Amino acid sequence: MNQNINKDKIIIIDFGSQVTKLIARRIREFSVLSEILTINDLKKKNIFQNVKGIILSGGPSTVTKILFPKIPNEIFNLNIPILGICYGLQLIAKQFKGKVKTNVKKREFGRAILTKTKNSLLTKNFFKKNKSIVWMSHQDYVYKLPVGFSKIAQTDQSEMTIIENKQKKIYGIQFHPEVTHTQNGNVIFKNFIFDICKTKKQWKLVSEKIRIIKEIKQTVQKDKVICALSGGVDSSVVALLIHKAIGKNLKCIMVDTGMMRKDEFKSTYKIFINKYKLNVKILYASKIYFKKLKNIIDPEKKRKIIGSLFIKIFEKEAKKYKNVKFLAQGTLYPDIIESRSVTGSKTSKIKSHHNVGGLPKKMNLKLIEPLKEFFKDEVRELGTAVGLTKEISQKHPFPGPGLAIRIVGNITPEKVKILQEADYIFIQQLIKNNLYDKIWQAYAALLPVKTVGVMGDSRTYEYICLIRAVISEDGMTANYFNFPKFFLDEISNKIINGVKGINRVVYDITSKPPSTIELE
Ligand code: XMP
């Protein structure tokens, strides 16, 4: 039974914005439970139980068309405070007979300066000298105030940037307070959830650990659980939580694909065995991975081969354990949100993300997903609460397909070896210079082009190593990390001197979007 059902909560109705998840995070950072719902979820029974506030997210749709995603009218009369963000504001405007239009000339993307026009509970302590810098992403704007609303703030391009209906406690803002580029964005959420919605702080991450362990015990009882352990943060936290709940009845399997970082697989295996006394078995599978990946250039094909091979190997092994009833997975909250359709439309797929989440249900095992309500940084915190070493809990994310998607083009054991060495040097240098924890994700990649160089008195003709380091909050958007020049000099020098096969190092200075974090 989910013991969170009696707690005050804020719900976020998702209209498909890339940053909806950040809203949920911001609310939880104030120790308040938050849940992201789709429009379809609103039909469920008792969905508004304990809901103290409703946030309508942004999204790609426009209310200027005949058909647009909306919520049932009754929700506006539930007497629950509502905050509309971007598309959410436009929806409120439309609902209350304001006017919205698309104007490409007036669109605002990025930074904008907001000017206060009236006091509001929502913007208490938000402005400095009546101004604030906010982050915008819109081309529709409200040009006629909806009935019963007043204007709180404006920018040069959008006159109704913040509006309120104080009596009905309905608020709309055109900018995105959830992104860090908006100065003081958190103040808006704080005012909304505490001053306007009167929500109580009832949600604590550490008490979640106790709840999860109890729930696993109740569900599994005397049966056995199998878990695919990669040594990354998510599967490690899952394994430790389940181990705390059922001890030796948890069986972990590590599949060595040969596409891992240098020495990483063995060292994490040792930690699980020696420190945590987990029941772990390694399956060595690199030969078959190299064979199947031979001459495969297409990134999507690589991902599919790696994913399905993983499933095959895991399935075969799982069949050997006759009395296992459950399969544990490290599914996170963003995985669940990303895999469901917000408005019924299918968002275009950019990459086939592979992790254990792709395991087939026909294995006749019931799923246990203890992390499915949490974000990555919350999982790290849970990891610490459950005794996971910093070495693992603070590890940068590592993709399921591993180095295979960091070797652009054809994969060979030689290339993997070259990349492992370069990547090792890069990561060690980051740790040595106290930069590792400041970066969200960093890695080295190998480009499939050889260029000419000169070493000593000889000509060389070797590969290019690309290094990537990004700062991000959840991997959805990212900026490249601004290294000091001395570090770039040092890293280039160390990689070229230390790794045979590389004679040029380049630093990737693109953000996401337009690039992605991984190369493939
Ligand atoms: P992209 O390259 O899509 O990556 O900007 C965003 C984040 O997702 C990770 N990633 C993956 N993780 N299986 C995973 O478990 C995958 O197939 C996969 N592909 C990308 C990537 O490392 C980054 O953290």
CATH 3.40.50.880 domain locations along the chain: 7-196
Q: Is 300 a catalytic residue?
A: no
- Give the contacts of 253 (CB within 8 A, at least 6 positions apart): 226, 227, 228, 229, 280, 281, 283, 314, 317, 318
Assigned CATH for 205-393: 3.40.50.620
Reduced to 3 states (helix: H, G, I; strand: E, B; else coil), residue 264 is: helix
Q: Which of 86, 227, 252, 465 is catalytic?
A: 86
Mutation pick for ligand 1 pocket among 517, 519, 520 (CB with most ligand atoms within 8 Å): 517
* pLDDT digits (tens), the chain, 520 positions: 455 668 899 999 999 998 898 899 999 999 999 999 999 999 999 999 999 999 999 999 999 999 999 999 999 999 999 999 999 999 999 999 999 999 888 788 888 999 999 999 999 999 999 999 999 988 999 999 999 999 999 999 889 999 999 999 999 999 999 998 899 999 999 999 999 999 999 998 888 899 999 999 999 999 999 999 999 999 999 999 999 999 999 999 999 999 999 999 999 999 999 999 999 999 999 999 999 999 999 999 999 999 899 989 988 998 888 789 999 999 888 787 766 666 544 444 555 554 544 566 667 789 999 999 898 989 999 999 999 999 999 999 999 999 999 999 999 999 999 999 999 999 999 999 999 999 999 999 999 999 999 998 899 999 999 999 999 987 878 999 999 999 999 999 999 999 999 999 999 999 988 899 999 9
**CB contact at 8 A, 425 and 261:** no
**CB contact at 8 A, 368 and 225:** yes
Q: Is the CB of 261 under 6 A from ligand 1?
A: no
Q: Is the CB of 406 under 6 A from ligand 1?
A: no
- Give the contacts of 310 (CB within 8 A, at least 6 positions apart): 228, 255, 257, 354, 356, 358, 400
Q: Is 86 a catalytic residue?
A: yes
Q: Which of 108, 159, 164, 178 is catalytic?
A: 178
Fold of 410-507: GMP Synthetase; Chain A, domain 3 (3.30.300)
Adjacent-strand bridge partners of 54? 11, 82
Q: Is the CB of 353 under 6 A from ligand 1?
A: yes
CATH 3.40.50.620 domain locations along the chain: 205-393
Position in ligand 1 atom list of the atom nearest CA 512: 5
Q: Is the CB of 401 under 6 A from ligand 1?
A: yes
Largest CA distance in the chain: 80
Single pTM value for the model: 0.81
Q: Class assignment of domain 7-196?
A: alpha beta
Q: Is the CB of 472 under 6 A from ligand 1?
A: no
Closest to 153 (Cα-Cα) out of 128, 176, 173: 173
Rounded CA-CA distance 283/386 in Å is 26
3-state DSSP percent of the chain in helix, strand and coil, to 5 = 35, 25, 40
